[in-house]
Amino acid sequence: MDLRFTPDQEAFRAEARAWLSAHAPAAGSLPSLDTPDGFEAHRAWEQTMSADRWSVVSWPEEYGGRGVGILEWLIFEEEYWRIQAPTRVSQNGIFLLAPTMFEFGTDEQKTRFLPPMASGEEIWCQGWSEPDAGSDLAGIRSRAQRAPGDDGWLLTGQKTWASRGAYAEWCFGLFRTDPEAERHRGLTYFLLATDSPGVTVRPIPQIDGEPGFAEIFFESVFVPDSQVLGDVGQGWSVAMATAGSERGLSLRSPARYTEAASRLVSLYAAQLDRAPDRAARSADAVAQAWMDAEAYRLNTYWTACRVLAGGRVGPEASANKIHWSETDLAIHRAALGLLGPEAELTGGGGAAGNPWLDGFLFALAGPIYAGTNEIQRNVVAERLLGLPRG
Amino acid sequence: MRFAFTEQQTQFRDALRQVLDKECTPDDLRDACNAPMARSRRWATLAEMGVAGLTVPEAHGGLGLHLLDLAPLLEEAGRAALPEPLIETTALAAPLLAAFPSDRVTGWLEAIAGGQITAAVAAIDERGWMAAPTPDGSVVVAADGADLFILPAAADPDGRALELHAVPVADVSVTSVASLDPTRRLGTVGWEPSPTTLIASGDQARSTLGDLAERAAVATAAELLGLADRMITMAATYAKDRNQFGKPIGSFQAVKHLLAGAQVKLEFARPAVYAAAWSLGDPELVGSPQGARSASLAKAYASDAATEAARVSLQVHGAIGYTWECDLHLYLKRAWALAESWGSAADHRRRILSSLVDEVRPTQG
């Protein structure tokens, strides 16, 4: 066992750190990515990263990456969050769709879709949830029927809670191609442009008032056969590969939390002078939040080394999702506790914003999206502990 | 980075699990409760396997390995609620003795490797982490029946000048002290420091005791992992077998979510404990704030994971779990005792936070 990084890994870290400190916008300087201006500013940052091959370091070079391994990706993420670089506007594509496309996509699909995903030229949103299919995702009713020319499909129905849906150029999602089949079968994974005829996007303001997600309506939207990912009728198992990476290793790297936890400790240290009684009352929560982030970091490296040795991330991904989402919430709740009555101030009117409040609102979504934590606990109980399905 | 155990470490763990499945059953634990003894037939088996003398230098009949190698074995000891003092003898006393070579020490190390003796370790720790349930450290774990005692003494009335002694059983009088888990064999130790028993003094004694406390916290954390796993497994098995409302209670979400919550805590405690065991063998981390935080993270996480597993596994068993007849209490009681030993979760959280604040505000400490 050795937890130290190799000299090559340290050199990679130094190179990433130097590039990021020379190029990354100042922390918090871009407008919210859920506003039109902010979305384009974040896209421009993706293009800057992509030009020097830093947007998707773990991808093969032919698609815009550097072909580095998972440990190097984690190192890059540590440097990325350390400098508080912008939120990745392309994250649905690069972290959720791309792993699935590498596994199930044709060469033509990879060549067509991955480079513009890496450069931020095409931003993706996720079309999974429907009004009547949330936690019960297999209850999807949006349908795809063969098009009259037999060269594609006509999609009809409604998707909702599509993050980045308000501005994204492309959407990946599940549609029912065989209404007669058992409900987990008969689903197919489609890729479609959101400017296709028959698509209507209606942004939904989130809890902070910004249109972070959207409803998407489909009325006989034509999608060619070349935009089916994986086999027709196999959408559920194809999609679960994406779900595994969303809950597992790739969507939420530990650096996001370890860096937030470091800032929480700094806030605590500052409040020891400003509001010592409140700091004393928050001490246990601050320490626990820091520990939760550190435990997540260690568990991620432990899992990454298991994957490098040929292991797969199975139902442990559900334990992971529960832990990171609750850690994020614990960090921000502790911070709001330290701020006390100041926590509610949003910092409008020209003052600097309140990143702890923004972060708290963001963290509240974590236990809900990517499969609620209640569903994840069912998975842990059934697949890790062998308890019977209800 | 290679954050994984070697094939050899994993095989050793599997071998120990097989042995303990046979030789440390719940019935064996009940026997040990009725007649607590320090050296059983089982301890001889552990010595033959190389477990008892794992940290004893090879020159003295041991395997010359480290706490990292011992950690998975301690996890198995926890899973079985092993009554013998593997932490005290192998994780603590043997490496401590090996650092102060003498003819007497050589004899003791050889006896540890041979399974002829067990040790008890009393720790007065200035940070207030107590191995035993009295503030002055006068109650010592595994004292009743031990052959060798590692005992600190104050060499002046202020207690500032510390000495560390290794005292054979012939020179002490032990009075046993009743506790919830009788296999812990607590006792008070009457003794007088003498030049022949002295092994370290002053700063050397102080730093040795500091290192000892870190090792003890991590070793105890490793046992807590095994205990938590055992309790969750017992409760999951029960939840599959026990029917109410016409189906297994494990099919109800309320029951599933209790066990899943405990399982998630355990999953995240494991790498924290392994990383801490590795840190204790890394020269750059030993004695560093980062190393100390690593040990505290391990103990806090493992204590909380085991306490949660204990609470949940009892709840899932219902009334049967509250009986003497059900085996669950054999593991609950050990978990409760170890969760508070060598620093509780709350102690270690406090220690981590003050260490972090020291780094943010170095001048104000």
Residue A202: strand pairing partners: A215
Interface touch B4/A309, C-beta < 8 Å:
yes
Shortest CA distance from A5: residue in chain B: B1
Backbone φ and ψ for B66, nearest 5 degrees, come out as -120, 175
Specify the pLDDT at position B331. Answer: 98
CB contact under 8 A, A387 and B236: yes
DSSP class per residue in A308-358 = HTT----THHHHHHHHHHHHHHHHHHHHHHHHGGGGG----TTS---HHHH
Q: Name the stretches of chain A with pLDDT < 50.
A: none
If we measure between CA atoms, which residue out of B78, B113, B8 comes closest to residue B305?
B78
- pLDDT value at residue B365: 42
- pLDDT at residue A313, as a whole number: 85
Closest CA to A382 of B79, B303, B250, B94: B250
Largest pairwise CA distance in chain B: 71
Burial A159-175 (b: 16+ CB within 10 A, else e): bbbbbbbbbbebbbbbb
How far apart are alpha carbons A143 and A134 in whole angstroms?
16
pLDDT tens-digit series, residues A167-201: 999 999 999 999 999 989 999 999 999 999 999 99
User: Is the Cβ pair B4, A387 closer than 8 Å?
Assistant: no
Contact A316 B275 (CB under 8 A): no
The distance in angstroms from the start CA to the end CA of chain B is 33
Quick one: pLDDT at residue B261? 98
Cβ-contact A120, A159 below 8 angstroms: no
Supply the DSSP string of A206-242, one letter for each residue: -TTSS--EEEEEEEEEEEEGGGEES-TTBHHHHHHHH
Q: Which of A249, A237, A250, A247 is nearest to A91 (CA)?
A: A250
Please say if A246 is a catalytic residue.
yes
What ipTM was reported for this prediction? Answer: 0.95
- A302 contacts B353? CB cut-off 8 A: no
SS3 A135: coil
Is B270 in CB contact (< 8 Å) with chain A? yes
| Nearest chain B Cα distance for residue A318, angstroms | 9
Q: CA A148 → CA A141, A173, A223, A295, A330, distances in Å? A: 21, 22, 12, 55, 53
pTM above 0.90, yes or no: yes
A chain contacts of residue B69, beta-carbon cutoff 8 Å: none
Q: Which two tokens stand for residue B150?
A: 């590692």
* DSSP result, A28-73: T-SPPTTSHHHHHHHHHHHHHHHHTT-SSTTS-GGGTS----HHHH
The single-letter code of the amino acid at B299 is K
Cβ-based neighbour number of residue B114 at 10 Å: 17
pLDDT tens string, chain B, 365 residues long: the values are 999 999 999 999 999 999 999 999 999 999 998 886 766 899 999 999 999 999 999 999 999 999 999 999 999 999 999 999 999 999 999 999 999 999 999 999 999 999 999 999 987 655 555 555 555 667 888 999 999 999 988 777 665 668 899 999 999 999 999 999 999 999 999 999 999 999 999 889 888 888 999 999 999 999 999 999 999 999 999 999 999 999 999 999 999 999 999 999 999 999 999 999 999 999 999 989 999 999 999 999 999 999 999 999 999 999 999 999 999 999 999 999 999 999 999 999 999 999 999 999 865 44
Ramachandran quadrant class, B54 (left: phi over 0; alpha: psi -120 to 50; beta: rest): alpha
Least CB-CB distance to A377: which of B1, B256, B278?
A: B256
Query: What residues 287-326 of chain B have any CB closer than 8 A to a CB of chain A?
Result: 293, 297, 300-301
